[in-house]
Amino acid sequence: MKKCLIACAAMGLAGLGFSGVAVAQSSVTLYGVADAGIGKVKSAGDDRVHMLSSSMMNNGTSRLGVRGTEDLGGGLKAGFNFEQGLSLNDGQGNLSGGNTWSRAANVWIGGDWGTLTLGRRLNPSYDAEYMWELTGGANYYVAGPTYNYAGQGDTRTSSQFMYATPDIGGFSAELAYVAKDDNAGKHKFDVGLMYQQGPIGVGLAINKTKSEKTNYSLGGRYSFGQIDVAASYARVGDDSTPTRERRRYTLGASYQMNPFTVTLDLARDVRNHTSVNNKKYTNGVLEGKYALSKRTFVYAAYLRLDGDNNYGLGLRHNF
């Protein structure tokens, strides 16, 4: 299925009399995720038990995407990525930002010097946190909703100019900028510094919006064979009240015994000036996954978030 667009394009060009060589250096891939289940998302103000899709308690947001790459020669490549979220409840689209391609809408060019991406995509802060996060970036990963996704309110950024370095001995970096005219009159910088080598993964996220406090998080992950452990510390501001802040640390572990994986990740406030009463919280996620194949798994998750109990049981298929 992934290569269907390539085949169709090739046949179309052949029918028009064009040589197949013209498309030999290009590729287009269709991909996506289908994820649905049952549960309750109390933190979203919904106290019902019902079918869930693309919610906080789904492992992932259902999506449909297309990406392409062209080899320009001389080690230079160019490409694009369009991706939209959708709900399996009723087929509704325009998720993850409210527009058709809110999950990704960008064009890029890259080579041995790195990659320059223009448009909406995951921001460097998220990519840095992904280096140590134990659930693999699940919607219910505890550090995300607890601390406003590294203080940004979203894992994605629009109108973003981003440069990613090549991997150098396990080290890499992403640097992003959003102009003030694209961000309500406030320019924004975002940096992700990452290290991945063998059993070690480390990520440092730093982002700064003009007239607001600097947000940062630092975390690390280490693998002992079947067991992964991770810890992090962060300080994030409050988008609505920049003088407020929330500080936290996380500590967790994941155990894999194929085809089953269980993860426990806890987050504790050191300071919480974002709540009305400055209350400190201990949040946590407990997740179990059972792989049915390389692309399909069932999961169960419980998320304790600022006093609310959320849970979900679902099935995810990647294609």
How do the domains of the chain map onto residue ranges? 4-318
Low-confidence ranges of the chain (pLDDT < 50): 1-24
Do residues 300 and 287 lie in contact, with contact meaning Cβ atoms separated by under 8 Å?
yes
- The pLDDT score that the predictor gives to residue 24 is 42
The verdict on whether omega for the bond into residue 145 sits within 30 degrees of 0, i.e. cis, is no
- The pLDDT score that the predictor gives to residue 9 is 43
- The pLDDT score that the predictor gives to residue 148 is 85
- The pLDDT score that the predictor gives to residue 206 is 97
**Rounded Cα gap, residues 64 and 82, in angstroms:** 9
**Rounded Cα gap, residues 314 and 59, in angstroms:** 8
Q: How many CA atoms lie within 13 A of 52 on its CB side?
A: 31
Q: Which two tokens stand for residue 184?
A: 């309500």
- The pLDDT score that the predictor gives to residue 3 is 47
- The pLDDT score that the predictor gives to residue 123 is 97
Nearest CA to 135 among 265, 282, 269, 250? 265
- The pLDDT score that the predictor gives to residue 241 is 57
Q: Report the length, in residues, of the chain.
A: 319
The separation between the first and the last C-alpha atoms of the chain, rounded to the nearest angstrom, is 8
- The pLDDT score that the predictor gives to residue 277 is 67
Pairing of the two strands 227-237 and 215-224: antiparallel
Nearest CA to 287 among 314, 267, 258? 314
- The pLDDT score that the predictor gives to residue 96 is 87
**Rounded Cα gap, residues 1 and 134, in angstroms:** 30
Pairing of the two strands 76-85 and 114-122: unpaired
Do residues 72 and 39 lie in contact, with contact meaning Cβ atoms separated by under 8 Å?
no
> What is the pTM (predicted TM-score) of this model?
0.89
- The pLDDT score that the predictor gives to residue 61 is 97
Q: What is the largest CA-CA distance in the chain?
A: 71
Specify whether domain 4-318 bears CATH 3.30.70.20: no
